[in-house]
Amino acid sequence: MEKDLSNYRKSYEKGELLLENVPENPIELFRNWFIEVDTHFNVGETNAMTISTMGLDGYPKSRVVLLKKYTHEGFIFYTNYNSEKGKAITANPNVCLSFFWPSAERQIIIKGKAEKIAENLSDGYFESRPRGSQLGAIASNQSEVVKDRKELETKLKDLEIKFEGKVIDRPKKWGGFIIKPVELEFWQGRPNRLHDRIRYQLQDDYNWTIERLAP
């Protein structure tokens, strides 16, 4: 079975990204783009991002996670540290994030190094989660093989009974990573496939070099 997709085309005409207009700090540009997309474009989950890691099996793997905070230091998300993703990051902290907002014809690709955030920060975010999500983090041994859906649902019901009326503490296997960027590339679709690509690279003195790349 095959399908020819060579006629899938569109013209990108919703914006421009000029070198003379970008700020010196890429996090400022990220913030501006994020706010614009979140406010003016119907994206759904603006904070959805793809994270790519190098797996323990030697293969790269990408999956979508949700960005929960960004600061001048980097980008924070939460996961099970014992998951396939968590183990891959522990073994090799060099990762890649990407945001794709098709309705805005924009993409951001971020290379960086991941590290665990402070435990009190993970505690604080865990406390803010809905109770069902808290229990779900305990119930799921993420990435491990399960017999069927019923096994998970039974475990969740047992936990609901166990913790009824009680505070649910964050399991140590679950917490946040911060991705501290070393390179960010901002992509704005343009007509005739002459897209705008602006790349920021972190230097040893912690300043950023800014360059335009050919599309």
Give the position of tokens 């099970």.
80
- CA-nearest of 34, 35, 169, 190 to 108 is 34
Catalytic residue among 9, 129, 149, 193: 193
Answer for the pair 176, 204: CB distance below 8 angstroms, yes or no: no
Rounded Cα distance between 33 and 187, Å, is 11
Dihedral sign computed on CA atoms, order 67, 31, 179, 110: positive
DSSP H stretches of helix in 140-205: 149-162
- Pick the closest to residue 143 from 84, 191, 101, 195 (CA basis): 84
Would you tell me the crossing angle of helices 149-162 and 131-139 to the nearest 10 degrees?
120
Is position 199 annotated as part of the catalytic site? no
CA dist list (Å): 72 to 4, 27, 76, 160: 44, 6, 11, 38
Tally of CA atoms within 13 A in the half-sphere of 183 that contains its CB: 11
Strand 106-116 and strand 94-101: pairing?
antiparallel
Write out the catalytic residue numbers. 193
